[in-house]
Amino acid sequence: AVSQTFCAGDPGPSSNLCAPDQGTPSAVSGSGPWSWTCDCGGSSVPCTAGVTSPEDGQCGTADGGSFCSSTPTDAELCAGGTHPSVSLLDFDSYEVTWTCTGVCSTVNDTCSAKGKKACGWIETNP
């Protein structure tokens, strides 16, 4: 259950309940939130996993803008849902596109902004 998302209606955690070499998990109880213990050499550690609230994918403030002189922050890419890592986006292209993916939701939003190649040059005479 480490680093997993559980949505309403999911069966709940069933694997990766305890960190490697951190004990044997007990039976999982509950229907969300769920609880169990990791028993390791006579000591027990209580563990829980909650239900994630649905969040629709929604473009952030970077949508429709340009990346001529700066790279967006995570918050600027998506106002809701999850997005790809900033390092995976090609800002040197003409147009940058990304998808804000809903969490526990099927609503996704496709976003775009001008890349560095779409930024014009301004020439001045000295």
- Residue 78's pLDDT band, with cuts at 50, 70 and 90, is very high
Express each pLDDT in 9-23 by its tens digit. 888 898 888 888 778
* 67 and 21 within one domain: no
- Could you read off the pLDDT of 23-69 as tens digits, one per residue? 889 999 988 889 999 988 778 888 888 889 999 999 999 999 999 88
Residue type, 20: P
> What's the pLDDT score for residue 63?
97
pLDDT (0 to 100) of residue 23: 82
Tell me the residue range of the domain where 21 lies: 1-52
Report how far residue 52's alpha carbon sits from residue 8's, in angstroms, rounded to the nearest whole number.
Answer: 7
Number of domains in the chain: 2
**Domain annotation covers residue 20:** yes
Record the tokens describing residue 25, joined without a space. 């998990």
Burial class of residue 49, CB neighbours in 10 A (0-12, 13-18, 19+):
buried
Residues 72 and 108 in one domain: yes
Mean pLDDT of 70-88: 89
Cβ–Cβ < 8 Å for 91, 117: no
Kindly state whether residue 125 falls inside one of the protein's structural domains: no
CA distance 77 to 85: 10
Q: Tell me: do 27 and 71 sit in the same domain.
A: no
| 47 and 72 co-located in one domain | no
Q: Which residues pair with 58 in a beta bridge?
A: 80
Question: Which residues is 99 bridged to in the sheet?
Answer: 110
In this prediction the pTM is 0.71
Place of tokens 């790279």: 71
What is the per-residue pLDDT for 2? 54
Tell whether 44 and 62 lie within a shared domain: no
Q: Tell whether 47 and 71 lie within a shared domain.
A: no
* Whole-number pLDDT of residue 122: 55
